[in-house]
Structure 1
């Protein structure tokens, strides 16, 4: 079995988005956004790509996954619980604060 960079990146994004979704459900104030992160993180697992390709003949291109990952991370850092200050133990500087 060969390990490709896209496979590693896809798994990493899946786990990051799954973690963000769980944290939004547990500690954030937006349960719906957390569920959305969890549902969309499934797209990034390589097993999902294999199942979609084999059963439904659907393949999600890598550039769509990359664009979706950037969009979801942007939403996480600018509109999620991290940006709203629900995690005081994580130092985060928003765009309206100065160093």
Structure 2
């Protein structure tokens, strides 16, 4: 998001879409609202810390003056498979 703001010459990313692997956490959701992104597309839900649909829906809170469209679960099984492999590899490296 920082790079996009630099390229556009504005921290506000009006009309932009953010594509991410996992559902955004609390801090990421705050940054998305602050940047005024139009849409977030995420691959897999994050049941422990997802703040877009899983644990809460911060985008739907009435006190925010900005709404963000959310598309979730895009390629979720495929992403879950890759994440499991990634973290298994990280554990193997750490144990070495």
Does TM, scored on the shorter chain, surpass 0.5? Answer: no
**TM-score after normalising by structure 1:** 0.28
**TM-score after normalising by structure 2:** 0.29
Question: Which structure shows the bigger proportion of residues in helix conformation?
Answer: 1
